[in-house]
Amino acid sequence: MALLPILSYPDPRLRTIAKPVKEVTAEIKTLIKDMIETMYDAQGIGLAASQVDQHLQLIVIDLSENKDSPRVFINPKVTPLVEEKQPYEEGCLSVPEVYDSVERPNKVRIEALDENGEKIDEEVEGLLAVCIQHEMDHLNGVIFVDYLSRLKQTRARDKVRKVLKIREKQEAAEAQPQAATNV
Ligand code: NI
């Protein structure tokens, strides 16, 4: 298993439209495992393949408290079951440390295949409904900040740039040889 680098907003590769998975091959299964590991490592609750620069219709989600119940959605189709939209505070591993309210229908039908190629056909609501719509957007090249004002999008870009710089510095510091006091 391996951790995959996550693309950050506004990387243009995040705008790529994902293609359907033709067959759940060994390669796809490895990608799924790596995506789940990457999601846990980044402390996310969902990850779309688009975010790791693999432009396939593939989503992993884990809403469980113990992070031990990952769900896999291959070639998902999501249909809203209610017209009314509700606000929910969203964040995204590709837009680190930016959170804002997005309105979406909070009840949807999900049709997809799981990691074993078994059919999924479920009506879901609440967080899973919000999360799957957020991830579906990724497969279509859409990022949650697209729903926000221009000003907020500019702020999000600035924030991501700052966060990435800080992370780079931290990584560089961690790569330094151990201080003598650590002996
Ligand atoms: Ni996201």
The span from the CA of 57 to the CA of 72, in Å, is 11
What is the structure's pLDDT at 51? 98
Please give the distance, rounded to the nearest whole angstrom, from the Cα atom of residue 156 to the centre of ligand 1.
13
- Residues marked as catalytic: 135
DSSP state of 4: -
Please give the distance, rounded to the nearest whole angstrom, from the Cα atom of residue 182 to the centre of ligand 1.
38
Please give the distance, rounded to the nearest whole angstrom, from the Cα atom of residue 176 to the centre of ligand 1.
32
pLDDT in tens, 101-157: 999 999 999 999 999 999 999 999 999 999 999 999 999 999 999 999 999 999 999
Query: Phi and psi of 130, rounded to 5°?
Result: -65, -50
Q: What is the pTM of this model?
A: 0.94
The span from the CA of 149 to the CA of 75, in Å, is 31
Residue type, 95: V
Report whether pLDDT(183) > 90.
Answer: no
